[in-house]
Amino acid sequence: MALVPPHGKEKKLKPLLLEGDERKAELEKAKTLTQVRMTSRETGDLIMLGIGGFTPLEGFMGYEDWKGVCDEMKMSDGTFWPIPITLSTTKGQADSIKEGEEVALVDEESGEIMGTMKVTEKYTIDKEHECKQVFKTTDSEHPGVAKVMAQGEVNLAGPVKVLSEGKFPEEFKGVYMRPAETRKAFEEKGWSTVAAFQTRNPMHRSHEYLTKIAIEICDGVFIHMLLGKLKPGDIPADVRQRAIDALIENYYVKDTIMVGGYPLDMRYAGPREALLHAVFRQNYGCSHLIVGRDHAGVGDYYGPFDAQKIFDEIPQDALVTKPLKIDWTFYCYKCDGMASMRTCPHSKEDRLILSGTKLRKMLSEGEEVPPKFSRPEVLAILREYYESLTEKVEIKMHRYAEGG
């Protein structure tokens, strides 16, 4: 059996990253162009366009695609897409750029020229409408909403040529991977069914349990770590990686797991982000996406299983990659092991509810972590990280993190 095809009508990866002499020539040209500065979110999106993670997109979306994606989760050509991929700038800069002009795309933090874009359209959007559709809220406390509301007044659209992957290949050597690389690795392992496990947290016992269920069903599991920006209080990627490596080394059968990373910031869009995760995991070669409780959620903005339900609301042919829906999982003292709502008959008092938020809160406040919460090798790495922090971030609990 072959791996799932990439997303889109052509079923072919569409990387937009230039290499060799072509890249050199485009970079020289880019130095002469008007510079449009990008936020870290926009930079991450550009890199995903570059490596083919956002196949079949050819650049930042125009108004019709933006509107179609917000309202119907599909682009103007009918391609399924759940979250707008857009680039914004100030009105002053937009007015100075002519349609048809090429611009250089620069990462605002590093100052590096990341790519070029031929501007085919300039348009304004109703930011609140995007937030309502994508995040189901306009509350400025929601980190995804805050980012959209902080965007420039005008969106620029057009095809891009990508010149750099930024810090990711060097800083996350051996973890950061392009879709063509993961597909090759899966084929070499003889895997045709692969379940992706999305994580922005170190893995606790529930995560371990979810991935082991997937190993029973699929040829292998791809633990796919987010390497871009998080919200304050989340655990950085290098610490996460060490914790995940320790878990795999000690608690998994050899060659059932592969670990990789991707360059996006979290949007915390809950159900819509779960769909985006499935879209680009299809490009990476994964047949399934593990969707547990509160996937890509934040606070109490989404119900615990909204991200599972949304897969039943989209057209059947929208995605080849399918969700692997798994119920609320926990450690049950009476069952004497990991269990889920579907397998455990005991009461709430017998259960240790596990969540990344709860674990971060206990560690940041120096609380004793129950031994069944996480493996000792993982806890040792996390304790060392929290002890090294000079500034503590308050971790707010939400009701689903506590079993509410």
Catalytic residue IDs: 200-201
How much of the chain is helix, strand and coil, in % rounded to 5? Answer: 35, 20, 45
Question: Could you give the 3-state DSSP secondary structure of residue 149?
Answer: helix
Long-range pairs of 106-111 with CB within 8 A, sequence gap ≥ 24: 106/35, 106/36, 106/37, 106/38, 107/37, 107/38, 107/40, 107/43, 107/166, 108/37, 108/38, 108/39, 108/40, 108/43, 109/40, 109/43, 110/166, 110/167
All residues at 6 or more sequence positions from 19 whose CB lies less than 8 Å from its CB, including other chains: none
Pure H helices in 88-126: 91-96
All residues at 6 or more sequence positions from 93 whose CB lies less than 8 Å from its CB, including other chains: 34, 36, 152, 154
Q: Which string of DSSP letters, residue by residue, matches 332-362?
A: ETTTTEEEETTT--S-GGGEEE--HHHHHHH
